[in-house]
Amino acid sequence: MGGWKRVAGSIALIAATTACGTDAPPDDPPSAADTVTSTTRTPRVVDESGRPAITFDPCLDLPDDVLVEAQYDPRSKRPSEYPMESYSFLGCGFTGTFHIPDVLRHYRLSVLAGNVTLEEELEKDGNISTHISVNGRDALLQLDPSNTDSCAITVRTDFGIVIFRRTYYADHVRDVPIDEWCTGLEETMAMLEPFIAQ
């Protein structure tokens, strides 16, 4: 990911209170018209750049059941956040659930949502990037031979980009062959992409 910073955050807890019973009849429950539900999330990361707010939180917006289907443990999520002056990133890391003794110890998926553009990412890492499409969304497949056992797909969004980087940790002294670093990542992306804010 070159010079781009990572980002993370906290999840708010909701407390519920219950009143003790009395002899008075309970109040009527509020009608749907009286109940106001906000669908707007306050961004956890803001900066002074004037760039768009990051509207996709990888720790909150990727459903647990979809992560399990993609062979990642939702309980392993590790949030990160980097509000900078000129750009920001909001991230989350997940550990894979698949293990092959003497071949694969574990693997990790890092997801970073940032308010930089795909063009900026291409300018920064164009030498390791190939244009692809994920579910019709403009994207870059990024394979850096110097970043051993790792592969990334960066997709365009309305607020900027989301980078999905998978890293293998071999269960032996040999590295994973470079032609396997990206194997299956596009299929994983096809499952996760629908949950990214446009």
Residues 122-179 pLDDT 10s: 999 999 999 999 999 999 999 999 999 999 999 999 999 999 999 998 777 676 789 9
Give the three-class secondary structure for 127.
helix
> Sorting pLDDT into bands at 50, 70 and 90, what band is 85?
confident
Alpha helices in 149-192 (DSSP H): 185-192
Q: Is the pLDDT of residue 14 over 60?
A: no
Q: What angle do CA 95, 98, 103 make, to 5 degrees?
A: 110
The CATH architecture of the domain made up of 58-195 is 3-Layer(aba) Sandwich (3.40)
Task: Compute the mean pLDDT over every residue in the chain, rounded to the nearest whole number.
Answer: 80
Q: Where are the domains of the chain?
A: 58-195
Pairing of strands 104-114, 129-134: unpaired
